[in-house]
Amino acid sequence: MEVARKRVWKRLLASLWVILPLVVGVVASAAMVVTGSGAVVAAAAFAMCSGAIAYRLAFGFDKITELAANDSTVAQHELEVAQLDKLQDQLRADRDFRTKDILAAARQLRSEFQELASSPEMKQRANEIGKQLDHLFWTAIKQLEYSLKLFHQADRLVDGQRNHVLQERESVILELQSSVDRMRQATTHFRQWLNSEQGLDLKPLQNELDASMRVAKRTEERMRELELGHNHNEFLNHNGFLKD
Would you list the domain boundaries of the chain? Answer: 1-77, 95-244
Q: Which of 11-25, 141-155, 192-206 has the highest mean pLDDT?
A: 141-155
SS (H, E, C) the chain: CHHHHHHHHHHHHCCHHHHHHHHHHHHHHHHHHHHCCCHHHHHHHHHHHHHHHHHHHHHHHHHHHHHHHHHHHHHHHHHHHHHHHHHHHHHHHHCCHHHHHHHHHHHHHHHHHHHHCCCHHHHHHCHHHHHHHHHHHHHHHHHHHHHHHHHHHHCCECHHHHHHHHHHHHHHHHHHHHHHHHHHHHHHHHHHHHHCCCCCCCHHHHHHHHHHHHHHHHHHHHHHHHHHCCCHHHHHHHCCCECC
What's residue 8's pLDDT? 53
| Whether the predicted pLDDT of 174 surpasses 90 | yes
Percentage, residues of the chain above pLDDT 90:
32
Beta-carbon contacts of residue 79 (< 8 Å; ≥ 6 apart): none
| Whether the predicted pLDDT of 244 surpasses 50 | no
The pairs formed by 224-228 with CB atoms below 8 angstroms and a separation of 24 or more are 226/146, 226/168
Model confidence, pTM: 0.68
- For residue 242, list its beta bridge partners: 157
**Backbone torsions φ then ψ of 61, nearest 5 degrees:** -65, -40
Give the closest residue to 101 by CA, choosing from 111, 113, 114, 88: 88
Q: What is the pLDDT of residues 27-48, one digit of tens each?
A: 555 655 555 555 555 566 556 6
How sure is the predictor about 199, in pLDDT bands with cuts at 50, 70 and 90? low
Q: What is the pLDDT of residues 141-170, one digit of tens each?
A: 999 999 999 999 998 888 888 898 899 999
Please tell me the distance from the alpha carbon of residue 194 to that of residue 211, in angstroms, as a whole number. 22
Q: Between 62 and 165, name the one with better pLDDT.
A: 165
What's residue 218's pLDDT? 84
Give the closest residue to 147 by CA, choosing from 95, 196, 185, 105: 95
Mean of pLDDT values over 183-198: 84
Beta-carbon contacts of residue 150 (< 8 Å; ≥ 6 apart): 165, 166, 168, 169, 172, 232
